Amino acid sequence: MNQESTLAGVRVIEICNVAAGPFCGMLLADMGADVVKIEPPGTGDTLRSWAPITDGYSENFASLNRNKRSVTLNLKNEAERDAAIELIAGADVLIENNRPGVMDRLGLGQQAMRARNPRLVYCSVSAYGQSGPRSQEGGFDLTLQAMSGLMSVTGEEGGAPVKCGVPVYDFTAGLYAAFAIAAALRRVQADGQGTHIDVSMLGATLGIAALQTSQYFGTGVDPVKLGSAHPRNAPYQVFRCKNGYFGMAAGNNSLWKAVCKVVERDDLHADPRFANPTDRAEHQVALRDILEAIFAEHDSHAWLERFRQAGVPCAPINDYSEVLADPPVEHMDWVQDLELPNGVRTRTFVSPVRFDARTAGVMRRPPWASTTTRSCRPWRPGRRVERHVRLPSPYHHAATGSLDLHAVPPRKTQRAVGRTGRGAHRRRGCRPPRTGAAAGVRRRWQELQRRIRLHRLRDAKRRRSVAAHGAHRNAAAARGRLSQPDAGAGARPQLRRGRGSVRGLQVALLHPGGRLSHARAEVRPGAGHTPLSRYRRR
C-alpha cells in the first residue's frame, strides 16, 4: 500500500479558511482524496495574502493547500450556490470551518446537505462547537491558547503569558477532524450512513492537555509555569553551557546514572535529594544550578557528543534552517520540490507519515486563486455521463446529478471537444462573475430569457446575400425538400439534404435547475406554422 492510494476515490469539498480546516483537507489530500476547495471571489482564502509572497503567490498558502483543486463560487449568489450544492451532492465529505449558523443561512447546512446525500460525512470545525454558551463566538489559535490554559503553563516562572510559537491548536483541530473523517468513512462503507462531525478547537486543545488536566483532577492544584523544565522529572530541560544552550532529558534512573558518569560526578547519583525522578523533580532548581556550573566548562557541541555516546537523549537548540538540513530529515525525504502555479519552484515539507518505508510526494501543485468558476466545468450538470468515469472506491455511490470530477480525456479516435464550433454553447463553462451595473444587466437579461418560450430562429442571411438567400429558399421549396416532422416515436423535425435553408421556430424548454433544451419545427412555405404539439425536443 502507498499513501497516495489510501483514500483514492474519496471526494472532499472544503469550504474553509486559514489553517484548521485547510490543514484537515490537506491531510486527506495527502492520502489520495480528491479535495476541491471552494473559495469566495476576489480575495479567496485569507491565507493567500500572507507573506512570503513569491511572484504573486503565497508560500504559506501553498504549504496548506497542496494536492487540492480550487473553484471560485459566490455562495450568496443563487446560481453559484446551486452549483456548490451539486458538487456536495456528489461528494463523500464536506469540511467547513465557519461560525455555527453560517452554512445554514447559506442553505448548505448539514441537515439540508445530508437530506440530498445521506452518505455525506459533514465535518464542522469551529472555536467552541456547534452548540452551547460560546458557540456563536469566533476564535483563533491565540485566543484558544489563552482560553484553554496553555499560556498558564508556558514561559518562565513569574513571567508574562507567552503563546506557543507554532499555532498548535489550529493544527490539532485539523488532525482531530481528519482522524474523525477517516473513521466516519469506515462507517459509511459498512452501513451507508453519513454523519455530522463537530470538532471544536477548545475541545481539541484540552484533549492534548491530558497530563495537565489529570494533574488538576488528582491534586486540585493548577499546573504552573516551569520554563523548559518538567513537573515530574529531572534533569529534563534546556541547560546553559559555555556558548549557549542545549536540551537534555534523562527521563529515568538509568539515564540519570549515565548523566552522572558523563559529568564525572558519581556523588550526585548517591545524593538522596536525587535518588528517584520524584525527588529530582522536587529539587530540580538545585540540580539545574549544579549541572550548569559543570556545563559552563565546554560548549554545546562537546556536551552533545558526550551525551550521545552515553545514550542520553539530547539535542541542540536549532532554528528551522538547521533542522530542515538535518540528516534525518534528508533521509526521510520530507523536504521536496514544489512547483507553484506561477511556475516558480520552491521547497515544502510533505506528509511525515510513511507507508512501507516510502514518503509520499506532491501529487498536485497548490491551486491558483481562480477569477472565474470555469475550473468547476467538469462538475456542472448537463454533461454527458458516459464521458466520465469514477475511480474504484468502496466509498463511492451514485451521484444525484450528472456531475463528475474525473473527466476522461478524449481518446485518439475521439474528436476533442472544444469551446467553439457546433454545440459549443452547451460545453462552455461558467463565465466570469459580474459585479455592479454589469451584474444587474445580466440578471435582467437572464430574467428576460426565462420568460421567453418561443423565438425565431436566425436564418442564413448572415452567410448569404438577401437575393441568394431567397433564391435558395424558393428553389428548395420547389424541389419539395422541406418536410413536416415525422409523427413516429422518437422522431424529430428533418430537413433533407440539399441546398437551401428555411425559416423556423425554436421552442425553449425550461428544465428544473435552469437548463434549457430546444425543439425545432420547420415551416412549409405558405402552409403556416406546424402545431406546437408536433415539436420534438433536441
As annotated, the active-site residues are: 170
* Cell matching residue 442: 445580466
State the DSSP code for 234. S
Question: How far is 468 from 366, CA to CA, in rounded Å?
Answer: 56
Would the CA dihedral through 71, 76, 77, 79 be positive or negative? Answer: positive
List, in order, residues 6 or more apart from 303 with CB less than 8 Å away. 241, 246, 248, 262, 295, 314
Question: How far is 520 from 504, CA to CA, in rounded Å?
Answer: 7
Question: How far is 151 from 33, CA to CA, in rounded Å?
Answer: 36
Interhelix angle 168-191/20-30, rounded to 10 degrees, is 50
Measured torsion, CA atoms of residues 353, 358, 363, 365, in degrees rounded to the nearest 10? 60
Cβ proximity of 205 and 169 under 8 Å: yes
43: helix, strand or coil: coil
Neighbouring C-beta atoms of residue 409, cutoff 10 Å: 8
List, in order, residues 6 or more apart from 500 with CB less than 8 Å away. 472, 473, 475, 476, 477, 481
Residues counted in the chain:
538
DSSP tally for the chain: helices H, then strands E: 19, 18
